[in-house]
Amino acid sequence: MYLIRILATLLLLTPALHAEDWTTEEVFSRHKTSVIQVRIIDAQGGAKRSIGSGFMVSDDGRLISNFHVVADFVHHPGQYRAEWHDSEGGSGELRLLDVDVVHDLALLQSEQLQAREFLAVESNLPKMGERLYSLGFPYDLGLTIVEGTYNGLLEKSLYERIHLTASINPGMSGGPAIDRYGNVIGVNVATAGDQVSFLVPSRHVIDLLSRDEASTQGELMDRIGAQLRANQARYLGTLMAAPLESTTLGSYRVPSSLARHISCWSQTDQNPERLLDYTELSCQSEDDIFLEGNLSTGAIRFEHQLRSARKIGVVRFWAQLERGFRSFYGDLGGDQTSSTDFSCHQDFFRHGELKSKLVLCVRRYREFGGLYDLVQRQVTLDHSDQALQSTLILTGVDREHGLAFARRFAESIVKVQP
C-alpha cells in the first residue's frame, strides 16, 4: 500500500500544468489554502520558538518545509513540538516523517490536513527571466505573496540553489515558489538581502517524496548521519580525483580555487607601520549544511599567509608565528552538547625539498557517528626570515576522506624552483 500511495502521489506531482497563465492575484487566491505556517513550540513555555512556512504535496496531509525550520524539533523532540497554522485560523500538530538535510528539506504530516488542496511539483526549471511567485509567512505577519524573477542555478554552489530576484524574508523559509502556471519549481530557503534570494530546486522535493519505505526506517539521527557521510564522500571524492589547482605565492605553489564552488580572495598588507609584511590568500566553499543553532557542516575553508620579517629580528619573528600557530581553530560553531573538544597531534612534515611543522586537530560530532571537524595548520621552515603558514578546515567529514584530503593538501604546498 505504501508503494501504491507513493506512485499515485508522483503521478499527481510530475506533470507540468501549462493550461493557463495566471496573474499574481490568481496564483494567490488559488493556492493560499495549500500554504501553511509551521511553528516550533517550546513545550514547557507554550510559546513559539521559531516559525517558517510549508506547502501541501499530497491529499494524505503531507507537506514540505525546510529542515532548518524544524531543526530544534529534530534535535530535541521532547523539548519542542511542531504545529501547523493556516491563514483561516486553523491549527494542529505535525509529525516529522523524513528529512533531506543536505538540501534543507523536511517532510511532515498531519491527519487534520487530509483532503486539503495540494500543489503540483514541477521538476523542470523555467526559462531565464521567467516570473515566479513566492509564498510564505514573513515575520509572522500573515500569508504573503512576492513576485520575482528566475535567474538560473547558482554557478558557485556545491548544493543546488536557484537564484530568485525577490524579497524572501524570515518566516517564508519552506514556502513554495510557483511559476505562472501554478507549479512549484522551488522551495524558499535563504536570502542575501537586496532582492537576492535562493530556492531549493523542486527535483529534490520529488526525490524526498520518492524514497522507498526501507530508506525511512531506523532512528532519524542515524539517517541524517548517513546522509551527511554520503555527501562528504561525494564532494571530497570528486576533489581527490581531480588535480588540485594551485597558484604562486612568493616562492611557493599553494592550493587555490579547487572547484567552482570554492572562491578565493587575496590581499597584501602594505602598512609601513607593521613589523611584518604579509600576503594572504583565503578560499572557502560558498555554502554549507545547517544542522542546528550556530552549527553547520559540509564546508571547506583554507588560507595561506606569506609572512616576512621587516623591522624585527628572527627570534621575535618566529615567536610571533608560534603564538599564532597555537590558536587557530576559529569559530566553527557548536558547543559541548554537539561536539567534543579538539584533540591535536603535532609533528614535522617533509615533502620533497620542503620541511614544515604541522599540527592536525579533530573533534567528533556527538550525535552523528563517524563525522568530525578537522583543522590542519602547517608552517614552512626553509627560511629564517620568511614563512608560509597554511590552514585547512574541513567540517563534517569522516576520518578516511578527511585525512586523505588533508595529506594531499599538505603535499600540494611546494617550493618554486628559482
The domain spanning residue 275 has which CATH number? 3.40.1000
Q: What is the CATH number of the domain that holds 51?
A: 2.40.10.120
312 and 191 both lie in a single domain = no
Residue 416 has what pLDDT? 86
Residue 74 has what pLDDT? 95
Q: Is residue 222 part of a domain?
A: no
Question: Considering the entire predicted model, what is its pTM?
Answer: 0.88
174 and 262 both lie in a single domain = no
291 and 393 both lie in a single domain = yes
Q: Which of 390, 382, 388, 381 is nearest to 408 (CA)?
A: 390
Q: Are 145 and 27 in contact (CB under 8 A)?
A: yes
Last residue of some domain: 217, 235, 267?
217
How far apart CA 414 and CA 116 sit, in angstroms, is 63
Instruction: Give the three cell numbers for residue 196.
Output: 537576492
How far apart CA 289 and CA 168 sit, in angstroms, is 19
How far apart CA 378 and CA 351 sit, in angstroms, is 12
Last residue of some domain: 192, 217, 242?
217
How far apart CA 272 and CA 173 sit, in angstroms, is 48
For residue range 370-401, list pLDDT tens digits in order: 999 999 999 998 877 778 999 999 999 999 99
**CA distance readout (Å), 237 to 50, 260, 400:** 36, 15, 11
Asked if pLDDT for residue 10 goes beyond 80, the answer is no
Lowest mean per-residue pLDDT among 139-148, 213-222, 313-322: 313-322
Range of the domain at 396: 227-415
Tell how strand 300-309 and strand 386-397 pair up.
Answer: antiparallel
| Average pLDDT score over residue span 300-328 | 76
For residue range 65-84, list pLDDT tens digits in order: 999 999 999 999 999 999 99
25 and 153 both lie in a single domain = yes
204 and 74 both lie in a single domain = yes
Q: Are 229 and 370 in contact (CB under 8 A)?
A: yes
385 and 346 both lie in a single domain = yes
Centre a 10 Å sphere on the Cβ of residue 335 and count the other Cβ atoms it contains.
Answer: 9
Q: Is residue 403 part of a domain?
A: yes
Identify any residues that bridge with 74 across adjacent strands, giving them in sequence order: none
Q: Which of 12-26, 236-250, 377-391 has the highest mean pLDDT?
A: 236-250
Q: Which of 147, 257, 250, 123 is nearest to 197 (CA)?
A: 147
Residue count of the chain = 418
How far apart CA 337 and CA 160 sit, in angstroms, is 30
Q: Is residue 383 part of a domain?
A: yes
Question: CA Rg, the chain, in Å?
Answer: 25
Q: Is residue 176 part of a domain?
A: yes
Report the domain count for the chain: 2
How far apart CA 351 and CA 382 sit, in angstroms, is 12
Identify any residues that bridge with 279 across adjacent strands, giving them in sequence order: 268, 306
183 and 315 both lie in a single domain = no
Q: Are 358 and 376 in contact (CB under 8 A)?
A: yes
Cα–Cα–Cα angle for 255, 261, 267, rounded to 5 degrees:
50
Q: Which of 20-24, 266-270, 296-300, 382-386 has the highest mean pLDDT?
A: 296-300
Q: Average per-residue pLDDT in the chain?
A: 88
**CA distance readout (Å), 271 to 264, 267, 318, 320, 386:** 22, 12, 20, 18, 18
How far apart CA 399 and CA 417 sit, in angstroms, is 34
Asked if pLDDT for residue 17 goes beyond 70, the answer is no
Q: Are 330 and 393 in contact (CB under 8 A)?
A: yes
239 and 128 both lie in a single domain = no
Q: Which of 229, 242, 234, 378 is nearest to 302 (CA)?
A: 378
231 and 204 both lie in a single domain = no
Residue 11 has what pLDDT? 43
174 and 39 both lie in a single domain = yes
Last residue of some domain: 161, 194, 217?
217
355: phi > 0 → left, psi -120 to 50 → alpha, else beta; which?
Answer: beta
Instruction: Give the three cell numbers for residue 97.
Output: 516523517
Instruction: Give the three cell numbers for residue 192.
Output: 542575501
69 and 92 both lie in a single domain = yes
